[in-house]
Amino acid sequence: LLALYAFRKGKSLSAIVIALTLASLLLSQYMAFKGDSAANFYLISSRAWELLFGSIISIYKFDQISYTRPVRQIASLTGLTMVIASFFCFDADTPFPSFYTLLPVIGASLIIIFADRQTLAGKLLSLKPIVAVGLISYSLYLWHQPLFAFLRMKSSGEPSEALFILAVLLTFVLAFLSYRYVETPFRRSP
């Protein structure tokens, strides 16, 4: 995107970002059903479209348009519902990423555009426990994979539910420590 920033004048940047978004989305759909599903999940080429949705929101400044309160309320709740629904509707057999991933990505986009402190979705998402999880979410993401992989490697068979709960709790503790002693100092350093 930094390289494309030179094209920011006119419609060049938006056209390129939209083309890259569509190409990445189509690649993820192809790889989900015809290609390597592991590569589809881990490679940026088939995941970039998810991030590029945010770029499109920024380029077109959708989040800065003045919408009526009922529109903000309905759209932000719809987005929150879409994100939550994907948690319950997706399972191990859901190709991911693919067109199915549009459900949480569009949902998150609706939240970004429409949720504010006056909407119910905005109020829910600004509750202290949810904000706290949001603050440590990157560390949670980084810690969960090695902990769960190690747990599975060291267990004979599928680990017990108690071990999974312990691993989740340990993930939160390590994420908090990483946030507090690694992320925060780096953000505040000159």
Q: What is the pLDDT of residues 15-32, one digit of tens each?
A: 888 999 999 999 999 999
pLDDT for the residue 12: 80
Whether 121 and 79 have beta carbons less than 8 Å apart is answered as yes
Contacts of 135 (CB under 8 A, 6+ apart): 179
Specify the higher pLDDT residue, 154 or 6.
154
Find the domain containing 133 and state its range: 127-190
Q: Which of 181, 71, 83, 82 is nearest to 136 (CA)?
A: 181
Specify the higher pLDDT residue, 1 or 67.
67
- Please state, in angstroms and rounded to a whole number, the distance separating the CA atoms of residues 72 and 50: 22
Q: Tell me, what amino acid is at 102?
A: L
Instruction: Answer yes or no: is 161 within a domain.
Output: yes
**Residue 52 reports pLDDT greater than 70:** yes
Instruction: Answer yes or no: is 57 within a domain.
Output: no
Instruction: Answer yes or no: is 156 within a domain.
Output: yes
Q: What is the pLDDT of residues 66-114, one digit of tens each?
A: 899 999 999 999 999 999 999 999 999 999 999 999 999 999 999 999 9
- Please state, in angstroms and rounded to a whole number, the distance separating the CA atoms of residues 165 and 39: 29
pLDDT for the residue 51: 95
pLDDT for the residue 11: 62
- Please state, in angstroms and rounded to a whole number, the distance separating the CA atoms of residues 60 and 76: 18
Give the total number of structural domains in the chain. Answer: 1
Instruction: Answer yes or no: is 81 within a domain.
Output: no
pLDDT for the residue 151: 92
**Residue 10 reports pLDDT greater than 80:** no
Average pLDDT score, the chain: 92
Instruction: Answer yes or no: is 70 within a domain.
Output: no
Instruction: Answer yes or no: is 148 within a domain.
Output: yes
- Please state, in angstroms and rounded to a whole number, the distance separating the CA atoms of residues 104 and 74: 16
**Residue 140 reports pLDDT greater than 60:** yes
Q: What is the pLDDT of residues 142-188, one digit of tens each?
A: 999 999 999 989 888 888 899 999 999 999 999 999 999 999 998 88
Instruction: Answer yes or no: is 133 within a domain.
Output: yes
> What are the structure tokens assigned to 163, written together?
């071990």
Whether 100 and 90 have beta carbons less than 8 Å apart is answered as yes
pLDDT for the residue 190: 73
**Residue 9 reports pLDDT greater than 80:** no
Instruction: Answer yes or no: is 176 within a domain.
Output: yes
- Please state, in angstroms and rounded to a whole number, the distance separating the CA atoms of residues 185 and 100: 38
**Residue 130 reports pLDDT greater than 70:** yes
- Please state, in angstroms and rounded to a whole number, the distance separating the CA atoms of residues 40 and 139: 23
pLDDT for the residue 96: 93
| Residue with token string 């009526």 | 68
Buried/exposed 39-61: b ≥16 CB within 10 Å, e otherwise = ebeeeeebbbbbebbebebeeee
